[in-house]
Amino acid sequence: TKLHAVVQAQALNGMYAIQAGDADFSMANAFDTTFFVTGTGDYNGHGPQQNLREVSVMIPYRVGIFVRKNSGINSMADLKGKRVPAGFGAQKTIARIVAAHLANAGLSYDDVQKVLTPNIKRSADDFIAGKTDVLFFTVGSAAVKQAAASVGGLRALQIDDSPQAVARMEKVLPGSFVTLVK
C-alpha cells in the first residue's frame, strides 16, 4: 500500500502529530484523548486541542483489582491503609486507572500506602514478592494467572456500580465504566 506508518511508544505522541497536521491517524485510549482534547488531566495548561476526533473503540480495558485470597481484604473499602502500587512513571495512564478504582470506593492514593513502581509488570512482580497488597492487571491475563499460582489464589474486588460510585470514577477518569466479567 501507499500507507506510511510510524510506530511510537506512547499514544500522546500520535495525538500531537495529528494536532500539528503531521499525521492523519493514530491510536490512543479514550481518556487520554479526552484529556488532550479538553486540555485537562495530564495536559492541564496546554489548552484545548480541537483537531482530533475519535472514530472507533477497538478494545475496552477490562481490568481489576486483585488481592491474595487469604488476605482478609474483601472489598475496595478494605484497601484503606494497605500497600497499593502507585506512580507508574512509565505508564501514567495506569496510575489514573488505579486512582479511579480507589475513587469508586470513596478512597484516593492519600488513603493507602503508595508503593512506587515504574510500570504494571514491575507492580505484578512486587505483588508476587509480597511488597504490595494489591495486584492491578487485565482480567484473565497471564500475569493474573501467574500471580494466582504464585500466592495461593486471588480474589477480585468488586467495583460499586451505583451512580454515585461511577460518578466518582468518572471524575478521575472520564469515560470509565463498570462491567461484569465472569
**CA-angle at 179, arms to 134 and 113, nearest 5°:** 20
Residue 9 scores a pLDDT above 80: no
Confidence of residue 16 (pLDDT cuts 50, 70, 90): confident
Q: Which of 18-27, 47-56, 91-100, 118-127 has the highest mean pLDDT?
A: 118-127
Q: pLDDT higher for 82 or 42? A: 82
User: Over 80: is that where the pLDDT of 6 sits?
Assistant: no
- In tens, the pLDDT along 104-128 reads 999 999 999 999 999 999 999 999 9
On the question of pLDDT at 11 being above 80, the answer is no
For 150-162, give one letter per residue: b (16+ CB within 10 A) or e.
ebeebbebebbee
pLDDT tens for 35-47 read 888 888 888 888 8
Q: How far, in Å, CA of 97 to CA of 127, rounded? A: 17
**Percent of the chain residues topping a pLDDT of 70:** 96
- 22-34 average pLDDT score: 82
Q: Side chain identity at 99, as an amino acid letter?
A: A
The model's pTM is 0.84
Three-state secondary structure call for residue 31? helix
123-126 contact pairs (CB < 8 A, 24+): 123/85, 123/88, 123/94, 126/85
Q: What is the pLDDT of residue 100?
A: 96
Phi, psi for 166 (deg, rounded to 5):
-65, -40
**Mean of pLDDT over the chain:** 90
Q: Is 36 helix (H, G, I), strand (E, B) or coil?
A: helix
The better pLDDT of the pair 13, 19 is held by 19
Three-state DSSP class for 114?
strand
Cell digits for 42?
495530564
In this model, does residue 12 exceed pLDDT 60? no
Question: How do residues 127-178 score in pLDDT, each as one tens digit?
Answer: 999 999 999 999 989 999 999 999 999 999 999 999 999 999 999 998 888 9
3-state secondary structure of 28: coil
Of the two residues 4 and 94, the one the predictor is more confident about is: 94
Q: How far is CA 136 from CA 61, 65, 96, 124, 151, in A?
A: 12, 5, 12, 7, 15
Cα angle for residues 79, 118, 11 (degrees, 5° grid)? 105
DSSP per position, 152-171: T-EEEPPPP-SHHHHHHHHH
Q: 115 and 145 in contact (C-beta within 8 Å)?
A: no
- Within 10 angstroms of residue 80's Cβ, the number of other Cβ atoms is 14
Is residue 8's pLDDT more than 70?
Answer: no
